[in-house]
Amino acid sequence: MTESPTFTPPRGMRDIESMEMSKRNWMERQIQKNMAIYGFKKVEPTALENLSTLEAKSGPDIRNEIYWFEDKSGRKLGLRFDLTVGITRMVANRLELPEPIKLYAISEMWRYDEPQFARYRNFSQWDAEIYGSEEQEADAEVICLGMDILEQLGLHEYEVRVSNRKLTEGYLKSRDFGSKNKIEATIRVMDKIGKLSKQKIIDEFRSLSIEEKTIEEIMDFASLKGKADDVLSNEPQGLEDIGRKGLEELRKLADILDDFGRIDRCVYDYSIVRGIGYYDGLVFEAYDKQGEDIGAIFAGGRYDGLCKNYGKRDMPATGVAGGIDRIMISMEREKLFPKLSQIPQVFVVTVNDTVRKESWNIVRKLREMNISADFDLKKRTLRKQLEYVDSNDIPYAIILGQQELQKGVIKLRDMSKHTEQDLNLQEAAKFISKT
Residue 172 confidence (pLDDT): 87
Cβ burial of 77 (10 Å; 0-12, 13-18, 19+) is middle
CA atoms within 13 A on the CB side of 21: 6
Listed in order, the ranges of the chain carrying CATH 3.30.930.10 are 18-168+244-333
Beta-carbon count within 10 A of 87 CB: 23
- Using CA atoms, how far apart are residues 413 and 88, in angstroms rounded to an integer? 56
CATH number of this structure's domain 18-168+244-333: 3.30.930.10
Using an 8 Å Cβ cutoff, are 47 and 82 in contact? no
Using an 8 Å Cβ cutoff, are 273 and 168 in contact? yes
Cα 386 from chain centroid (whole Å) = 41
Using an 8 Å Cβ cutoff, are 190 and 273 in contact? yes
Q: Spell out the per-residue pLDDT of the chain, length 435, in tens.
A: 566 678 899 999 999 999 999 999 999 999 999 999 999 999 999 999 999 999 987 777 889 999 999 999 999 999 999 999 999 999 998 889 999 999 999 999 999 988 888 788 999 999 999 999 999 999 999 999 999 999 999 999 999 999 999 999 888 888 877 677 888 888 888 888 878 888 999 998 899 888 888 889 889 888 999 999 999 998 888 788 899 999 999 999 999 999 999 999 999 999 998 877 778 999 999 999 998 889 999 999 999 989 998 988 899 999 999 999 999 999 999 999 998 888 999 999 999 988 999 999 999 999 999 999 999 999 999 999 999 999 999 999 999 999 988 898 999 999 999 999 999 999 999 999 987
CATH number of this structure's domain 346-434: 3.40.50.800
Which residues have a Cβ under 8 Å from the Cβ of 261 and sit 6 or more positions away? none
Q: In what order do the strands lie in the sheet with 266-269?
A: 41-42, 101-110, 122-131, 317-323, 298-302, 282-288, 158-164, 266-269, 225-226
Which residues have a Cβ under 8 Å from the Cβ of 52 and sit 6 or more positions away? 76
- Using CA atoms, how far apart are residues 258 and 267, in angstroms rounded to an integer? 12
Residue 1 confidence (pLDDT): 57
Sign of CA dihedral 240, 243, 247, 252: positive
Predicted confidence (pLDDT) per residue in 57-109, tens digit: 777 788 999 999 999 999 999 999 999 999 999 999 888 999 999 999 999 99
Which residues have a Cβ under 8 Å from the Cβ of 372 and sit 6 or more positions away? 343, 344, 345, 346
Using an 8 Å Cβ cutoff, are 411 and 420 in contact? yes
Sign of CA dihedral 16, 18, 23, 27: positive
- Using CA atoms, how far apart are residues 147 and 151, in angstroms rounded to an integer? 6
- Using CA atoms, how far apart are residues 319 and 307, in angstroms rounded to an integer? 13
Residue 178 confidence (pLDDT): 66
Q: Angle at CA 175, nearest 5°, toward 174 and 178?
A: 90
Listed in order, the ranges of the chain carrying CATH 3.40.50.800 are 346-434
